[in-house]
Amino acid sequence: MKTIFKRFIALINKMQPTQVMVLGFASVILIGALLLNLPIATQSGESIGFIDALFTSTSAVCVTGLIMADTATYWNGFGHVVIILLIQIGGLGFMTITTLFALITKKRINLKERLLIQESLNQFDLSGLVKLTRYVLLMTFTIEGIGALILSTVFIPQFGLLKGTWYSIFHAISAFCNAGFDLMGPVSGKFTSLTYYVNNFTVSVTISLLIIFGGLGFPVILDIIKNRKLSKLNLHSKIVLITTVSLILVGMLLILVLEYNNPKTIGKLGFGGKMLASFFQSVTTRTAGFNTVNLTAMHENSLFIMIILMFIGASPASTGGGVKVTTIATLVLTVKSFILGKEDIEVGSRRIGTSIVRKSLGIFLIGIIVVLSGTIIITITDPSFSLIEAGFEVVSAFATVGLSLGGSPNLSTLGKIFIMLFMFMGRVGSLTIFMAIMSRKTKNNPPIRYPEGKIIVG
């Protein structure tokens, strides 16, 4: 046994950081699936079945929120604890959790582990990574704690001290990690999310702010804490903040206009309630997975807007998914530069390098290919899903959102497997997975530059 363990460690040490990341997330998902598959995790005392347990574990670790069974009414206390721990690990990243244990045990963090932290937090260099990880952990627990405290002002009077406190902690973690799991089944019915609180300002705004903070990314939050003024922030933070605010406001206004007179969604609410519900639905597309209105009753044009917003997603090094706001911002700036006939891509007295543009283009195109091919696959494996339902489900999975129209429990076994793959790709990063698969040593790829070829485009 000792020999096998040594060989396994030696194999890990030979892997590239991207490969270890993929293996690490897959291992956490498998452990979670084994725990959730146990009869002691359900209220009925019966196993949910390995495929559904694996789906739930994948959704939790990938902080998505797509579920096979109503979280509150199907799982018991043990199941809820397992799910929320998987969400916390998935939101922070398994390397951040590993670093936490290393800091607690005062274990020295070697170069290999620093490279993994660098890949996990999407950083450019190795300097200050352990310090950054400390800040990430401190920020996470502080923001979640404040969120839980505010939510407790609603949940404790409604559910009592113990249950209200647990509900506050669970939903604060789920919201900040952009997971979308909820415990409101006994309150408003199975699979109803937070529709009971559509008019509740405290719950809607608190959950929304937790989602936004989780989706901004840890480097941006640190930059805001350090510099406080927009003018002093670095370029990355400025682009993330401007793009995020713009998308939330545009999404909110479009949903408000399109759903204004829809009696099945926000039509019967007062103007303030309509604004609040529209704001929440726009924010939740930051890859959170909560909803305060019945999504199946929304107009198709509203759902299409939500698909676009979900696909864009949150920010790099955050708890959210999607192709990321900086990817879209980079591509928009590239097109702007092309239209203006500029040689360089410029923003805020800075020039964006071609390597970033190439990476953005790669991420965007891979995302488009995955979503389009995934939508076709789901319409084949699950003919009962309409095109909009299949597309919504695939984008929701790939962008790790967790919203659903057709109902994830209605998926066939093959459909569940594909949705799990999309969730995994969305959380780990499709580009990271492809790099892990195609990874080779640099020495095996000597630099060769071929003569330039001419292609007519446009």
Residue 442's pLDDT band (cuts 50, 70, 90): very low
CA atoms of 269 and 114, how far apart (whole Å): 51
Higher pLDDT, 321 or 169: 169
Tens-digit pLDDT profile for residues 182-224: 999 999 889 999 999 999 999 999 999 999 999 898 888 888 8
Domain definitions of the chain by residue range: 10-437
Considering all CA atoms of the chain, what is the largest pairwise distance in Å, rounded to the nearest integer?
A: 73
Q: Which range is least confidently modeled, 13-17, 105-109, 201-205, 295-299?
A: 105-109
How far is residue 363's CA from residue 356's CA, in Å, rounded to a whole number?
10
Alpha-carbon gap, residue 177 to 199, rounded angstroms: 23
> What pTM, to 2 d.p., does this model score?
0.87
Q: Is the pLDDT of residue 7 over 90?
A: no
Give first-to-last CA distance, the chain, whole Å.
61
| pLDDT at 178 > cutoff 50 | yes
Confidence band of 57 (pLDDT split at 50, 70, 90): very high
Over the stretch 60-114, which tens digit does the pLDDT of each residue have? 998 898 999 999 999 999 999 999 999 998 888 755 655 555 555 555 655 555 5
Residue 138's CB: how many other CB atoms inside 10 A?
A: 10
As a whole number of angstroms, the distance between CA 325 and CA 316 comes to 8
Q: Residue 435 pLDDT more than 70?
A: no
Query: 193-197: which pairs have CB atoms within 8 A and are 24 or more residues apart?
Result: 193/289, 193/290, 193/291, 193/292, 194/290, 194/291, 194/292, 195/291, 195/292, 195/293, 195/294, 197/154, 197/292
Mean pLDDT for all residues in the chain:
85
Q: Taking each helix axis as running N to C, give the angle between helix 77-92 and helix 50-61, from 0 to 180 degrees, rounded to the nearest 10.
A: 40
Name the more confident of 168 and 235.
168
Highest mean pLDDT among 33-37, 282-286, 454-458: 33-37
Q: What is the pLDDT of residues 46-56, one digit of tens each?
A: 999 999 999 99
Q: What does residue 229 show for φ and ψ, rounded to 5 degrees?
A: -100, 140
Predicted pLDDT at 280 = 97
Mean pLDDT of all residues in 264-271: 94
Residue 437 has pLDDT above 70, yes or no: no
Q: Report d(CA 350, CA 447) in Å as an integer.
A: 29
Residues near 88 by beta carbon (within 8 Å), at least 6 away in sequence: 97, 173, 177
Highest mean pLDDT among 112-121, 152-161, 336-345, 442-451: 152-161
pLDDT recorded at residue 239 = 92
Confidence of residue 441 (pLDDT cuts 50, 70, 90): very low
Give 82 or 1, the one with higher predicted confidence.
82
Higher-pLDDT residue of 135 and 275 is 275
Contacts within 8 Å (CB) and 24+ apart, 69-72 = 69/409, 70/185, 70/190, 70/191, 71/181, 71/182, 71/183, 71/185, 72/182, 72/183, 72/184, 72/185, 72/186
**Predicted pLDDT at 159:** 95
Strand partners, 347: 350
The region of weakest confidence among 262-266, 272-276, 404-408, 417-421 is: 404-408
pLDDT digits (tens, 9 = 90+) for 344-392: 888 878 888 888 899 899 889 989 999 999 999 999 999 999 999 999 9
Give percent of the chain above pLDDT 70.
82
- pLDDT value of position 33: 96
> What pLDDT, on a 0 to 100 scale, did the predictor assign at position 10?
58
Q: Residue 177: which of 204, 211, 209 has the closest Cα? A: 211
Give the pLDDT score at 113.
54
Using pLDDT thresholds of 50, 70 and 90, give the confidence band for residue 130: low
pLDDT at 452: 74
Sign (positive or negative) of CA dihedral 213, 215, 217, 218: positive
